[in-house]
Chain A
Amino acid sequence: MNSQSNPTSEFWAQSRGFRSAVVAAARPVYWSIRRELWENRSIYIAPLAAAGLFLCGSLISTVRLRLHMEDPWKSPHGLMDQFELAPALIMGIALIVGVFYCLDALYGERRDRSILFWKSLPVSDVAAVLSKLAVPVVILPLLSFLITVATEFIMLGLTSVVFAGSGANIGELWTASTFLRLPLMWLYHLLTVHGLWYAPLYAWLLMVSAWAPRAPFLWAFLPPFVIWGVEKIAFNTSYFLSMLQYRLTGPGGGMVAKDHSHDFAAILIPHHFLSTPGLWSGFLVATVFLFITVRLRRSRGPI
């Protein structure tokens, strides 16, 4: 009996040990991410503000439609456009926030000397850099997804109220709206494109932020221009530019959100995306950038 119970309890003890080790490793990352949100409130304020402004605008436009008694679905500036504009706007804002966040993430702490405080705590440079990467790659996409869904929901509600009793088919509004058809697509798009596909871009920005003696913005955006110019003059080619374009516009299949005529199921199966060589070469580049970033974080002091 004993010989049977021992391995079991050992297994449990081991799994507990493993779990506590995972918790111990995750705690600094968790708290570092929270710290990033405390410091950079624009991460959630900017998309929320965009959503708020958008709702104001859409309310005005909906009321105008109602006053002119147009059929909301036939009008050239109809409601469908608005429902598609909202996610684009919020995701775009989140992208811009992500870029500026990355540029300041490792530069700001050196400029205000607080790096000395962060380094006086038992948080490794790897944990610090990864938690900063998590903000544009995980936190911002998830946040903008939630905000987008909430915005669409509120917009539907407002539209229903405005058009109540006008004779317009409100039921059709709810069934035809993108809100009910597309959230999974947005989530997929956000996580794959804004998260994974753009990871090397964010890693580049973080690396520049960790290295730049001043003006990280210039150091991040001038080198690509210089490389493009030199390549153009020396070889009369523009491989670098097309590479950059490919990275910025996404792997075709990844930008599915705009293309909702396709069969969802086929697109949502991520094997197309995961088998894109560009994704994996992107990961490789991102890894190299992040490795350098961690080394820089370790050796750089306040400026």
Chain B
Amino acid sequence: MACIEARGLRKAFGTTVALDSIDFRVEEGRILGIIGPNGAGKTTALNAVLGLIPYQGELRVLGRDPWKERDLLMRDVCFIADVAVLPRWIRVSQALDFVAGVHPRFDRAKAEDFLSKTSIALDRKVKHLSKGMVAQLHLALVMAIDARLLVLDEPTLGLDILFRKQFYDSLLNDYFDGSRTILVTTHQVEELQHILTDLIFIDRGRIVLSCSMEEIEARYLEVTVNPDQVASARALKPIYERQVFGRTILTFDRVERGRLLQLGEVHTPSIADLFVAVVGSRAGMAQGAAR
């Protein structure tokens, strides 16, 4: 069964179209990264999945309609919106009490075990915790819930690099077991690269690219072209070109590795470079069309 299935998902705020009839499908057990510039519609898509906003089109999450059945859906879905949503007045122990009280699948011992590895005391109030500790607390709450889908919207925003690393490490080591599905958006793409199984690029409310990481490795190659071969490399129709330290780097889509090896150094592009290549080339095309 698909964990999330969206068909013609559309959301407009007034005259601004945030999601322009997008289709996507996420199978269970995948870790999907949704990457896009600010205002691309990432958070809108996640909010629709979580039942926080009404939408047009068809959307099923774990077989449910999120807008109509948010409370039932939340037994199987967890989300961390961003670091600042835990109420500031709550004590750590009260947060544990409350989640244990209302969530049938919360394992309090697991949360306390996780917290004991941090410097968070149970009698502290959230407002007296540092930003990183609040994120740890929220992660402790979420990881102790036996959910089928975890949604993370910029979960590490504003955290320092150590916390970010810890965050994703705990997520992978202590939480992900191959049957759960994780949906994550972030601007710090590089830190996610090695944990994702699937990728969606989204730009101005539309999906620009949607494929698995294996497909990406099979399809996209980046070549640091030897100076004397730039012209012949361009003849192979790269999707994007950039200059680094005076050398030309070209990104190719579905061009044989063997042919590229003759032109220079070949490697798999990072997600960030690929994003710029795919979204940037589209933007270029749009500008070209406008001219």
Contact = CB atoms under 8 A, between A and B. Distances in A.
Does A associate with B in a complex? yes
Interface of A: 24, 27-28, 30-32, 34-35, 38-39, 109, 112-117, 119-125, 127, 298-299, 301-302
Give the most central of B47, B78, B81: most A CB within 10 Å. B81
Contacts, number: 80
Contact of A113 (B53, B72, B85): B85
B86 A121 contact: no
Contacts of B53: 299, 301
Interface in B223-280: none
B282 interface: no
A114 B102 contact: no
Contact of B90 (A24, A38, A301): A38
If over half of A's interface residues share one DSSP class (helix, strand or loop), that class is named, otherwise mixed; here it is helix
B114 interface: no
Given A39-B89, A120-B74, A299-B54, 6 more contacts: A31-B97, A39-B90, A112-B88, A121-B74, A122-B104, A127-B71
Interface in B71-97: 71-72, 74-75, 78-81, 84-91, 94, 97
Contact of B75 (A34, A116, A122): A122
A40 to B, nearest CB: 9
B288 interface: no
Given A122-B103, A301-B52, A117 B85 contact: yes
B6 to A, nearest CB: 20
20 contacts: A24-B104, A28-B102, A31-B98, A31-B101, A32-B102, A34-B97, A38-B94, A109-B87, A113-B81, A113-B84, A114-B86, A114-B88, A117-B81, A117-B138, A120-B50, A121-B74, A122-B75, A123-B102, A127-B71, A299-B53
B99 interface: yes
A30 B101 contact: yes
A31 B70 CA distance: 18
Contacts of B81: 113, 116-117, 120
Contacts of A32: 102
Contact of B102 (A27, A39, A299): A27
Nearest to A28: B102
Given A27-B101, A299-B53, A114 B70 contact: no
Contacts of A24: 104
Nearest to A35: B98
Contacts of B85: 113-117, 302
Interface residues of B, number: 31
Contacts of A298: 70
B180 to A, nearest CB: 16
B84 to A, nearest CB: 6
A39 to B, nearest CB: 5
A138 B83 CA distance: 35
B78 A120 contact: yes
A44 to B, nearest CB: 15
Interface of B: 47, 50, 52-54, 70-72, 74-75, 78-81, 84-91, 94, 97-99, 101-104, 138
Nearest to A123: B102
Contacts of A125: 70-71
B71 A122 contact: yes
Nearest to A41: B89
Nearest to B153: A116
A8 B207 CA distance: 59
Contacts of A124: 70-71
Contact of B86 (A27, A117, A119, A123): A117
A299 B138 CA distance: 24
Contact of A121 (B84, B97, B102): B102
Name the 10 nearest CB pairs between A and B, nearest first. Answer: A31-B101, A114-B87, A124-B71, A116-B81, A122-B74, A116-B85, A117-B85, A122-B75, A28-B102, A120-B79
B52 A31 contact: no
Given A122-B103, A123-B102, A299-B54, A39 B72 contact: no
A25 B44 CA distance: 30
Nearest to B95: A117
A117 B139 CA distance: 12
A30 B72 CA distance: 18
A107 to B, nearest CB: 14
A301 B80 CA distance: 15
B102 A122 contact: yes
B195 to A, nearest CB: 22
B102 A31 contact: yes
B70 A121 contact: no
A39 B126 CA distance: 12
B49 to A, nearest CB: 12
Contacts of A120: 50, 74, 78-81
Nearest to A124: B71
Contacts of A34: 97-98, 101
B227 to A, nearest CB: 52
B72 A122 contact: yes
A30 B87 CA distance: 19
B150 to A, nearest CB: 10
A28 B72 CA distance: 12
